Amino acid sequence: MKVNTVPTRTIWPVENCAVRIIDQTALPHAFRTLELKTLADAAHAIRSMQVRGAPLIGVTAAYGVALALADSDNSEALADAIATLAVTRPTAVNLRWALDRMQRLLSALPAGMRTDAAWREAAAIAEEDFEQCRKIGEHGLALLQELAEKSGRLDVMTHCNAGWLATVDYGTALAPIYAAFDGGIDIHVWVSETRPRNQGLLTAWELAQHGVPHTVIADNAAGWLIAREEVDAVIVGADRVAANGDVANKVGTYLKALAAKASGVPFYVAAPRSTIDFACASGAGIPIEERDGDELRVIHGVDNDGSPSNVRQLAAAEPVANPAFDVTPAELVTALITERGPCPATHEALNTLYRENM
């Protein structure tokens, strides 16, 4: 996608000795990139959410393994890299998926051969993510075209940021929206703010860069807009899809799914293979990240001069709970949109689509 008309990805290698990322903690107020040079840099980028979004977390972790093997690629260095990165964030299964893939490949190679192979594999994971998101866009477009034929103009609601910033490019939930907009469909996006980290503001920034009409809403406005028939479809991404089709995504997703069900509005979840956890039987087995309470207590923004600024809205001693994700039961999901096409959120459908996992 483009930033100020320049085609840009979220992550790219620099001469196979560093990795450049977009620092998402500075957005939407400032666009800046950062260089990751070490395993510690990569782990910090994931933990602090300089990079975020399930697919991008996985790709960054893969590059983190390559960075870690710069000085030594012996088995201890490999094991240390995998262990360090694995605990950075718990919910997005793309992290574990990417690390497992790196470990399988690299541990089968002798020391001395692993570093170049790690850079190649991380780049392959990034390219696959690019291609899978492009395909999710194509498959989701077909669903949106059907809806647009009925209603002319389309109003789509999304939650959090499941756009190109959350992947290598295109995004998951936003890929069909970009494809629809580029294909001439009259589309408008309701963007929920997504407290407390406000990833909806990243979505608004992305959509503005591409010229897609959108409106930011407070999270609490979503149910009312859906009930008032101002939403033709809800499309969100996922951090983990369990084998039975239950979906973990940014906290607040479940409420939108309930509202959509109550009003007969389609609720789509766009996710690539790397987000499906066949080893996790149902949503009950998905670990939900509990984040620092200061994310609720302190609001970040810019002051009137545009300088970064914090406002404390709750005292440090105020007890808060900050679960970062929730689980939407499969029966509330109209369809999953994968790179292999749409499918019902069921065990049978997922197994049919990904037969190689049976």
**Residues with active-site annotation:** 239
Binding mask 96-125 for ligand MRU (x = CB under 6 A): ------------------------------
Among 55, 90, 137, 140, indicate the residue that binds ligand MRU (CB under 6 A).
55
**What are 61's strand-pairing partners?**
none
Please list, in sequence order, all residues whose beta carbon lies within 8 angstroms of the beta carbon of residue 184, skipping any fewer than 6 positions away: none
Q: How far apart are CA 49 and CA 43, in angstroms?
A: 10
Shorter beta-carbon distance to ligand MRU: residue 272 or 329: 272
78 binds ligand MRU (CB under 6 A): no
Contact (CB, 8 A) for 115 and 77: no
Residues 312-341 that bind ligand MRU (CB under 6 A): 324
Q: Are 199 and 163 in contact (CB under 8 A)?
A: no
What DSSP letter does each residue of 92-149 carry, written as one string? Answer: -HHHHHHHHHHHHHHHTSPTTSHHHHHHHHHHHHHHHHHHHHHHHHHHHHHHHHHHHH
**132 counts as binding ligand MRU under rule CB under 6 A:** no
Residue with Cβ nearer ligand MRU (167 or 209) = 167
Q: Which among 33-41, 49-57, 184-192, 344-352 is the span making contact with ligand MRU, rule CB under 6 A?
A: 49-57
Q: Is 251 helix (H, G, I), strand (E, B) or coil?
A: coil
Figure out which of the listed residues 199, 209, 328, 334 binds ligand MRU, where binding follows CB under 6 A. 199
Question: Site residues for ligand MRU, window 9-48 (CB under 6 A)?
Answer: none
Q: Give the per-residue contact string, 210-249, with ligand MRU (x = CB under 6 A; - = no).
A: ---------------------------xxx---------x
201 near ligand MRU, rule: CB under 6 A: no
**Closest CB to ligand MRU among residues 92, 126:** 92
Q: Are the C-beta atoms of 327 and 286 separated by less than 8 Å?
A: yes
Number of chain residues interacting with ligand MRU (CB under 6 A): 18
What torsion, rounded to 10 degrees, do the Cα atoms 190, 195, 198, 201 define?
20
Angle (CA) 246-168-172 rounded to 5° is: 35
**Interface residues with ligand MRU (CB under 6 A)?**
52-55, 92, 160, 162, 166-167, 171-172, 199, 237-239, 249-250, 324
